[in-house]
Structure 1
Amino acid sequence: MKTHRIAIFQCHPDPSEERLCDALGERYARAARGARHEVRVIRTADLDFDCIRTQQEFEESALPPSLAESQEVIRWCDHLVIIFPLWLGDLPGHTKCFWEQIMRPGFALGKQEEGFPQRLLKGKSARLITTMGMPALAYRLAFGAFGVRAFDRSVLRLSGISPVRHSFAGQVHGENRDLGALFSKIDRLARRAG
């Protein structure tokens, strides 16, 4: 089996390590290392950065020093695993701010060629793992998974990351949640770096 360099981005904005997203990231890392993949983990809640507020800031300001390692890890990896909760049908604001800071011109996108920017992150794949309180099927069917699909297409695929696969973990709150099945799925995904 081919081994991969996997970057896990645990993107729950709450710095408490008692979040399901942390447990999923730890489980994925352990299973991937057990399958002999190289793994690096970034917890975005531990990083200090501000939101970008202007186009000029996005295009010209320096990357916050706390995010330099995140860009280096993305350059290093061939597979990204991005774990986040669904908030109001989308990524949390803190998570969006993180990816806006990271995916700047010159890192994710290059100069325009025939109307489209160069995709500087070609050759990498990604897995999005999204936790939510509602049933995952409802998010897919009733809401079209719009927020997650927008991040997939407008950020990851636009920069050249492909394929991007999705795993939705619904109804993660309360007594009815089946964490055993969820952790087993994470183990399977991690072993094959999918």
Structure 2
Amino acid sequence: MKKVLIINGHPDRESFCHALHQSYKKGSLSKGSEVQEIALADMVFNPNLAYGYRKRTELEPDMLEAWAKLQWAEHIVWIYPTWWASMPAILKGFIDRLFLPGFAFEYQEKSPFPKKLLVGKTSEIISTMDSPVWYYKWIVGDIGGKLIRKNIGAFCGIKNIRTTYLAVMKTSTAEQRIKWLQKVERIASK
């Protein structure tokens, strides 16, 4: 049994990402996993890291709850749309505000590398996009995926095990979207 945390980074509650979220949840529960959820569309928080790391901004109640869920999780599922080659601003703000020194990593004297405070956790990415996957990966350079996998996850000790891109959204049919929902449920149930 695994403790799964689904983080839905789409700001619109009626988006296809929310349907993907429910499919992943259904698949996870079917294999006996415990599931907790964070839907950024439902949270109340300031996504602006106003002072950088110079001065700590107190975490809002929703962010404190999100931190507790992140600590609880063994496996983190990032679900978001790819916009301008990366994640939506609200998801970036969520990460800026929550993945803080002393929480997710710790600076070390005499070392350019941090102590990773989230070691032992795994993650996966499920992202929708309007460009073809091959174009995003090979021409654009997989900017958003690399950001989550390496610059955020690996930096804090989280090992990404899978990235699933679903495209092309703008020209997808209802049948294609049903297949994507089924695929995400299958992935979660394995």
Inter-partner Cα distance in structure 1 for 2:129 and 2:113: 34
- String of CA shifts for 1:94-142, please: whole Å, max 9, x gaps: 1100111110111101231633111000000001111011111211111
CA contact (8 A) 1:134 1:171 kept: yes
Secondary structure at 1:133 match in 2: coil
What TM-score, normalized by structure 1, do the two folds share?
0.90
User: Are the equivalent residues in 2 in contact too, given 1:131–1:170 (CA < 8 A)?
Assistant: yes
- Paired position in structure 2 for 1:87: 83
- Residue correspondence of structure 1 range 6-155 to structure 2 within 5 A: 6-14=4-12, 16=13, 18-50=14-46, 51-56=48-53, 59-112=55-108, 114-155=111-152
Q: Distance in 1 between matches of 2:173 and 2:160?
A: 32
C-alpha distance in structure 1 between counterparts of 2:161 and 2:49, whole Å:
25
- 2:56 and 2:135 map into 1 onto residues whose CA distance is 41
Shift of 1:164: 4.1
Aligned amino acid, residue 52 of structure 1: L
Cα RMSD for the two superposed structures: 1.6
SS of match in other structure, 2:159: coil
**Maintained 8 Å contact 1:85/1:132:** yes
Asked whether the equivalents of residues 77 and 124 of structure 1 are also in contact (C-alpha less than 8 Å), the reply is: yes
Q: What TM-score comes out, normalization by structure 2 length?
A: 0.92
Percent identity over the alignment is 28
Specify the SS of the correspondent of 1:91.
coil
Q: In 2, Cα distance between the equivalents of 1:160 and 1:109?
A: 8
1:163 correspondence with 2:160: yes
Structure 1 gap segments, 5+ residues each: none
- Unpaired runs of 5+ in structure 2? none
Number of equivalences: 187
Structure 1 segments of 4+ aligned residues over 6 angstroms from their partners? none
